[in-house]
Amino acid sequence: MELLFLLLLLVVASTVFLLLHRHHYSYSYSYRRRREHGLLPLPPGSQGMPLVGETLRLISAYKTEDPEPFIDDRVRRHGRIFTSHVFGERTVFSADPDLNRAIVCGEGRSFECSYPSSIATLLGRHSLLVMKAGPHHKRMHSLTLTRFASLPLLRSRLLPDIDRLVRLTLGSWGDGQLLPLLDQAKKITFELTVKQLMSCDPGSWTEELRKEYLLLIDGFFSVPLPSFLSSRFTTYGRAIRARTKVAEALRGVIRKRRRDEKKDSSSSSSPSPSPSPSPSPSRSREDMLDELMDGFSEEEIVDFLLALLVAGYETTPTIMTLLVKFLTENPRALSIIKEEHDEIRARKTQESEPLQWSDYKAMAFTQCVINETLRVANIISGVFRRATTDVHFKGYTIPKGCKVFASFRAVHLDSENFKDARTFNPWRWQRDDENGIFTPFGGGPRLCPGYELARVEISVFLHHLVTRFSWDVAEKDKLVFFPTTRTLKGYPIIVRHRHQKVSEKVMR
C-alpha cells in the first residue's frame, strides 16, 4: 500500500516538474527564437504563476461589479495589446480596435475559432459555432444569414411571427403580477427560434424542450470532467444528458418531416394523426429545417439546429432584460421611448393591429437604446481565436498556435473610442459615427447571422411592453459580469396594465 502511495507521489511530482519545465521552456524558447531571427517581440505582459498563470486573478477580478477589471489593469500597465496566461495557455489579449478587426476578418487565413472540446461536445461538431472556416462553414453561414437577416423574409414572415408570439406571452401577464423578466424574455425568444427553425408553435412540447435546454446551457459554464467522471450529479454530466434528450427530440421532428415529405410526394391525401410536436397548420414548408432537408445528414441537421437555439437563447433575452433595467434607471430615456411607441400604436385603428415593417423603421430612439445597451452590457465580451501563422501587428508578433482574445467590451468601454464610455447614454447614437469599432455582433466570416433578427425581437418586445404595461422593480437587482453578463436575480418586476392605471386615475 505504502509502495503504491510512493509510486503515485513520484508520478505526480514528475508530472508537475515536466509541466513546469515545459511552461518555462516554451516561453524562453519562443523569446530566444525571436531574438535569433530578428523577429518582433511578443506583446508585453505577465505569465503569472506556473501552470495556473493568471487564471485565478482573472476569475477573482470579474467577481466584482466592475465590467472590465482584468483588462483595464493590464492595459494601464502594458498597453492595449498584452500577453497573459489563462486557462492553461498563453493568450494575447487585444483591446485594440484595429487588431480586433484583423482577428475577426482574418478568420480562416491567419486565425481560426477555438473552443474547448467540452463546449464542442455540447454543441456538436457540425454546429456553426465550432465549425472551422472553409467552404462548408461559408455555405452554412450564408444559409443562416438568408433565413434570419434577409429583408424580405424579416418583413413578410419573421416580423408577423415575432409580433404574434410576443403578444401571446404578454397577453398572459396579469395586472399586478410579479415576473422575473429574464425568464419571460427567454421563454419568448426560445419559442420564436423554434418557430423560425421548424415551424412549431408554443405548447407543452416546446416547454419540455426548453427545460432540457436550461440544463444544457448550464453545462457551458461548468467545470467539464472526463465522461467516466461526469455523473448525473455534476452540472456537466446533466448537460450532456440534456443534450442527448434535445438531440432525440430534434431527430423526431426531422423524421416526421421526412415522412410528411414522402407522403406529399406520393400525393396521399389523408394525413395521419401527427405525433407531437405539431407543426402549425399554416406552415408553408419554408423554414430553416426545410432548407436543410436536402443535402445534410440527420446528425448535421441536429447539431445545426441545436446550436442555433443556443446562440439566440442567452443573448437576446439578456439584452431585452438589461434594456428594461437601464430604461427604468433613466426616466428621461424611458419617457422618450414611451412617446415613440405610443405614437406608433396611436396610428393603429385597433388595439390588436399587428406591427408593420414601417412601424419598426419608425423606432429610431429604440435603436439608439438597443445600441447603447449592447455597448454597455456587452453580452459577448469578445471572441477567442488561435493564430494559424505568425502574425505581425503594431510592432509585435503573435506567434503561430498562440491563443488570442479580441475583447469587444474593452473597445466599447474605452473613453478613447466613446466619450464617457462607462455611462449609459443612448443619445450618443443620434450623433456618434462609431467608425466600425462598435462590434457587438462580431465581424468577418463569423459575423452573427442573428444580428437583425435580435434587433427586431427586442424592438417588438419593447413596443408591447411599454404600450401595454408600466412596471415597478420588485427587488433590488445587481448587474454582474462573470461568468456571463446578467442580473443576479433575473430582474423581478411587478407589471400593471397601462389602460387600467389610466382608468384608475380617472375614477379618483
Q: Which residues bind ligand HEM (CB under 6 A)?
A: 104, 113, 128-129, 141, 144, 148, 193, 308, 311-312, 315-316, 319, 379-380, 383, 440-442, 446, 448-450, 453-454
Residue 86: strand pairing partners: 89
CB of 105 to ligand HEM, least distance (A): 11
Residue 27 or 384 with smaller CB distance to ligand HEM: 384
Least Cβ distance, residue 126 to ligand HEM (angstroms): 12
Taking CB atoms, the residue at the shortest distance from ligand HEM is 450
Smaller CB separation from ligand HEM, 84 or 371: 371
- Minimum CB–partner distance for residue 37 and ligand HEM (Å): 32
Please say which residue, 57 or 403, places its beta carbon nearer to ligand HEM. Answer: 403
Query: In sequence order, what are the beta bridge partners of 486?
Result: 480
**Cβ of residue 189: shortest distance to ligand HEM, in angstroms?**
7
Q: Which residues does 413 contact at the CB level (< 8 Å), separation at least 6? A: 67, 68, 375, 376, 378, 421, 422
Distance, CA of 192 to CA of 406 (rounded, Å): 30
The three-state secondary structure class of 383 is: strand
CA distance 34 to 13: 32
By C-beta, is 217 or 448 nearer to ligand HEM?
A: 448
| Smallest gap from residue 171 Cβ to ligand HEM (A) | 23
Cβ atoms of residues 331 and 356 within 8 Å = no
The answer for residues whose C-beta is within 8 angstroms of residue 46's C-beta and 6 or more apart is 54, 83, 84, 85
- Taking the least distance from each CB to ligand HEM, the nearer of 42 and 376 is 376
Taking the CA atoms of 355, 360, 365 and 366 in sequence, report the sign of the dihedral they define.
Answer: positive
- Report the amino acid identity of residue 409: R
In one-letter notation, the amino acid at residue 434 is: E
Residue 242 or 309 having the CB closest to ligand HEM? 309
Is 402 annotated in some ligand binding site?
no
Q: How far is CA 307 from CA 38, 220, 259, in A?
A: 44, 12, 24
Closest separation in Å from C-beta 87 to ligand HEM: 17
Nearer to ligand HEM, 237 or 490 (CB): 490
Q: Please state, in angstroms and rounded to a whole number, the distance separating the CA atoms of residues 314 and 311.
A: 7
Q: How many whole angstroms separate alpha carbon 188 and alpha carbon 379? A: 18
Q: Which of 304, 293, 292 is nearest to 264 (CA)?
A: 293
Rounded least distance, CB 213 to ligand HEM, Å: 13
**Shortest distance in whole angstroms from residue 424 CB to ligand HEM:** 16
Q: Which of 245, 243, 274 is nearest to 260 (CA)?
A: 274
d(CA 135, CA 112): 14
**Helical H segments across 393-497, by residue range:** 408-412, 451-468
* Nearer to ligand HEM (CB atom), residue 373 or residue 417: 373
Q: Which amino acid does the sequence have at 97?
A: P
Q: What residues form the annotated binding site for heme? A: 448
Q: What residues form the annotated binding site? A: 448
